[in-house]
Amino acid sequence: MSKELNLPGSEMPVIDESRLMAEFGGDEEILRELRDLFLDHAPPLYKAMKEAIANGDCEKVARDAHSFKGACATYGAPRLAMVCREFEMLAKEDDLPTVRANIAHLEMEYHAVFEAIGAIGIS
């Protein structure tokens, strides 16, 4: 039986644009570089995490979720970072059934981040 996850609600933004702007002083060049780094690094992290889940490798799920969580937190994607944190904790507890039962949350938040990136006020 899978556990209930502590997942973010709709009150938390997919991308915390105001935090990004405040943290980087509205410097669009830095925000563009950060976005591009995230767009380069996120897909391989996501893919590695999904493969580790499919392979039942809890140690790798925990490691990959931790790395992905850091990238999301740095970029200002708090909802996806929270899902990664939950997956990391579950994997450390060898609770792969709960991870697998909640894979749709990871997929949904991942795709939401990529949709939201296009709406951020930087070119």
pTM: 0.87
Alpha-carbon dihedral 117, 119, 122, 123, rounded to 10 degrees:
90
Pick the CATH number of 17-117 from 1.10.3720.10, 3.40.50.620, 1.20.120.160, 2.40.50.140: 1.20.120.160
48-91: per-residue pLDDT in tens? 999 999 999 999 999 999 999 999 998 889 999 999 999 999 99
- Dmax (CA) for the chain in angstroms is 47
Residue 36: half-sphere exposure toward Cβ, Cα within 13 Å: 8
